[in-house]
Amino acid sequence: MSEAWRGVRWWRQAALALAVLGGFAAHAALAADCPGNPNALGVSRTLVVDPRQHPRIGTMQYPETLPLADHEVVLTFDDGPLPKNSNKVLDILADECVKATFFTIGGQARANPEGVRKLLAAGHTIGTHTQTHPLSMNRMATDRARQEIEDGIASTKAALGDNADALAPFFRIPGLLRADNVEDYLAEQGIQTWSADFLADDWRHISSARVYDLAVSRLEAKGKGILLLHDIQARTVAALPRILQTLKARGYRIVHVVPATAERPATPTEPQQWLFHPAPDSIAQWPQVPNFVFVHVGSLPVPSRAGFDSAEESPLLGQAAPTRVPWPDPSEVVPGNATVTLAAPASSLFEIEGGLDVALHGAAMSRHVHKTASAAPGPSRRLSRREARRLALTNGRQARLAHASDRQTRRGEAQTSRQKTRAATTTRRGPVKRLVQVRKRRV
């Protein structure tokens, strides 16, 4: 890095530090000058941005965000003006002398132009939020999206009347449903697209206490950033005073953002300040290990193999040198019975009398004996209590089944006997009955 560049960078950092210090001083002055509230939260500093240099901001969707220091917050409100709740939001902000950025809907501005003029009179920054708040910008054709954007700007300027130039080139896509064609068109027009760094979910059906908890907890997690709220919601009106009180109690500072103009140049910043997490080059790194250069490079002598075979020449102190016993050569070891040979057995020793049939029959008999022995009951042993109980249950079940079978058999035999007796009685009674009837006819 050249000395000239070091000097330029030093002066830029010095100017930035002076701007921040000046903002702190302005914050103290504004808080002290706040009518009726000397302990007001106020505005710590005013940040001037150039939309053409940074066309998209908000870490929820983009790499860059506003160059804020730790514990600095930018308040933004969408979807107004709606007289019932927007006027209450303006009163709450005025009580703390806080400035914010409002993204108005063209239809709301046309229906309530006085509400837009109140924003300007209170010193807030005014951006736009389309004409009808369509939740389809992410899939909308470029011509249709351009019409929504231009109509929203025209309606807001019409509400401002002679102060139409006070409209800031700031725009927020409804629902944060971004699309490349929409963002490209806005950048071509010199309009800065705003996302957010954290939300409070105040458009959902939740309580004002929940809005407060989400806003504060997410701010604490981030440490700084752009907060997105909605001035048309009653729950936001109820939660806003507690949010501002907590910001003041925990040392947070409000930053007011305005666009750069010919008379008002952009605030000097460094590129890494627009990144929520600074680039690695701007973070202190662990020092690298230096590369050492050795002036005198030499080599130690390698010991010779003979130095390890000096046991006989240099015995230990007070001990005699050990006697080396040579390892025997295998070729020199000759057994004493090397000339003795053993007789080979005759093949007749392995023959079976009766041939192969006798051998197979014997094998079959052996298997039969083995099965019989396996089936035979083994030596008696004492059964455990569980086994004895299981055996008793099994025997009892078998006894009951046998008794039921015998009873069924006896019933069957008795029924068969009764049927035979009935048949025999019928056979004997038949002729007698006929005989009686004949006798009655004869009489």
Q: Of 243, 276, 309, which closes a domain?
A: 276
Q: Where are the alpha helices (DSSP H) in 337-384?
A: 356-375
Whole-angstrom Cα Rg for the chain: 53
pLDDT score of 128? 98
Whether residue 440 lies inside any domain: the answer is yes
Question: Cis bond leading into 259, ω under 30°?
Answer: no
- Tokens standing for residue 339: 């000339």
Which pLDDT value is given to residue 366?
62
Q: Is residue 429 part of a domain?
A: yes
What is the residue whose two structure tokens read 């560049």?
Answer: 5
Bridge partner list, 258? 48
Burial class for 386, CB neighbours closer than 10 Å (0-12, 13-18, 19+) = exposed
Query: What CA–CA distance (Å, rounded) separates 131 from 153?
Result: 8
Question: Tokens 């389309």 identify what position?
Answer: 130
Residues of the chain with pLDDT below 70 are 1-32, 278-298, 305-341, 348-383, 423-443
How far CA 111 is from CA of 116, 190, 360, in Å, comes to 10, 27, 114
276, 294, 311: which is the final residue of a domain? Answer: 276
pLDDT digits (tens, 9 = 90+) for 347-383: 766 666 666 665 666 666 666 555 555 555 555 566 6
Q: Can you tell me the distance from the alpha carbon of 145 to that of 10, in angstroms, rounded to the nearest whole number?
A: 44
Q: What's residue 314's pLDDT?
A: 53
User: Is 158 part of any domain?
Assistant: yes
Question: How many domains does the structure of the chain reveal?
Answer: 2
CA–CA separation, 138 and 142 (whole Å): 10
Give the position of tokens 């910008």: 137
Q: Which domain holds residue 418?
A: 404-443
408 and 272 inside one domain: no
| Closest CA relative to residue 272, chosen from 32, 51, 63 | 63
344 belongs to a structural domain: no
- pLDDT at residue 51 in the model: 97
Question: Is residue 292 one of the residues assigned to a domain?
Answer: no
- Any domain includes 308: no
Task: Establish if 129 belongs to a structural domain.
Answer: yes
Assigned domain for 170 exists: yes
What's the pTM value of the predicted model, to 2 decimals? 0.60
Contact 219, 72 (CB under 8 A): no
- CATH code for the domain of 35: 3.20.20.370
